């Protein structure tokens, strides 16, 4: 077992690029993770990494060993997943990722409830608005809002969540209220942007169908909450899911814009590698989250949010 644990550490160190990050992902201190790597090198009698003060890279031997080690670790995880399907009490870790907004407001508050129900399961949540690679990052489930990426992953739809355009009263006092979609071209639009980001334009619903609006502004960020903060500070217009900004609208800190031509709803769903769904703890978490998220974002709940806005 110590050898297998050392293999796990080695694989994650290669994938994450540092001993500290690899150890943290496995809930090990840097010292313990480093010792695991040294033990593995002594056992194999080879150097697996080239180490400098700034960088850790696999040697040629390390790269070759990684391919085989990852297969061993993956086979072990698959075997454990197959066995857990027959267990009455699931156990182990589930690695989950979600965008910051939905992660903080919807996913994270539900995780303690899930763990209370299945106390032998631990959930490792990673929040980021950047694009992630489930297979490369060894993740089990990825929640998303918007267009799902093209992939061979299995997709489960949760709901279509309403979006809206909004800005602060201070911004509107200075720059005026947009009356038509074309007016957005003359406003500071705050965009979620990062390498390969899809949000270079906004798509609005009109009586004549979908309308693609190319918009721009002085600010963009890869963190959706940063955009909300800028909007609250009077810096521009944001395009957001209702659940992320309903409380700001209800309290008058933000104002809905162009309600007759709102943005198209965003798909809220999750992605997972098909083989992972065979693992009972992953299947249970997905089923639990789909049910509870749909309750939280049901039409009745959405209507209450809208009523609080009006």
- Encoded tokens for 273: 């590698």
Cβ 202 vs Cβ 208: under 8 Å = no
Average pLDDT, the chain: 86
216 and 167 in a common domain: yes
175 and 305 in a common domain: no
pLDDT at 263 over 60: yes
pLDDT at 305 over 70: no
275 and 257 in a common domain: no
Range picked from 9-13, 56-60, 78-82, 164-168 for highest mean pLDDT: 164-168
∠ CA(11), CA(4), CA(40), 5° rounding?
70
- Encoded tokens for 55: 């960088």
Residue 1's pLDDT is what? 64
253 and 276 in a common domain: no
- CATH number of domain containing 109: 3.40.190.10
Residue 194's pLDDT is what? 67
- Encoded tokens for 126: 């990673």
Cβ 69 vs Cβ 10: under 8 Å = yes
280 and 234 in a common domain: no
279 and 149 in a common domain: yes
- Name the more confident of 89 and 17: 17
Q: Which residue has the tokens 């083989």?
A: 275
243 and 109 in a common domain: no
Cβ 181 vs Cβ 206: under 8 Å = yes
- Last residue within a domain, chosen from 36, 68, 84: 84
Please state the domain count of the chain: 3
pTM score of the predicted model: 0.65
56 and 34 in a common domain: yes
260 and 168 in a common domain: yes
pLDDT at 85 over 60: no
220 and 179 in a common domain: yes
Percent of the chain topping pLDDT 70: 88
127 and 170 in a common domain: no
pLDDT at 125 over 90: yes
Task: Provide the domain limits for residue 123.
Answer: 92-160+267-309
304 and 229 in a common domain: no
């Amino acid at each position: 077992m110590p050898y297998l644990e050392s293999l796990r550490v080695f694989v994650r160190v290669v994938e994450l690029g540092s001993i500290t990050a690899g150890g943290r992902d496995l809930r090990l201190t840097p010292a313990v993770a480093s010792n695991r790597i040294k033990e593995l090198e002594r056992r194999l009698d080879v150097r697996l990494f080239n180490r400098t003060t700034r960088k850790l890279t696999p040697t040629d031997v390390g790269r070759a060993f990684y391919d085989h080690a990852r297969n061993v670790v993956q086979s072990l995880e698959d075997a454990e997943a197959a066995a857990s399907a027959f267990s009455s009490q699931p156990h182990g870790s589930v690695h989950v990722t979600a965008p910051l907004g939905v992660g903080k407001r919807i996913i994270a508050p539900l995780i303690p409830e899930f763990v209370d129900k299945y106390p032998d399961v631990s959930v490792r949540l990673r929040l980021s608005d950047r694009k992630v690679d489930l297979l490369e990052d060894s993740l089990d489930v990825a929640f998303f809002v918007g267009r799902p990426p093209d992939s061979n992953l299995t997709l489960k739809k949760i709901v279509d969540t309403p979006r809206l355009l909004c800005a602060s009263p201070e911004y509107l006092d200075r720059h005026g209220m947009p009356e038509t979609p074309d007016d957005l071209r003359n406003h500071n639009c705050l965009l979620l942007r990062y390498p390969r980001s899809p949000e270079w334009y906004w798509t609005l619903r009109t009586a004549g169908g979908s309308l693609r609006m190319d918009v721009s502004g002085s600010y963009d960020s890869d963190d959706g909450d940063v955009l909300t903060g800028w909007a609250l500070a009077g810096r521009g217009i944001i395009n957001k899911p209702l659940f992320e900004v309903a409380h700001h609208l209800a309290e008058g800190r933000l104002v809905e814009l162009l309600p007759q031509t709102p943005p198209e709803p965003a798909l809220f769903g999750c992605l997972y590698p098909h083989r992972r769904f065979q693992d009972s703890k992953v299947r249970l978490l997905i089923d639990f989250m789909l049910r509870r998220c749909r309750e939280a974002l049901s039409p009745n709940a959405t209507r209450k949010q809208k009523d609080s806005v009006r």
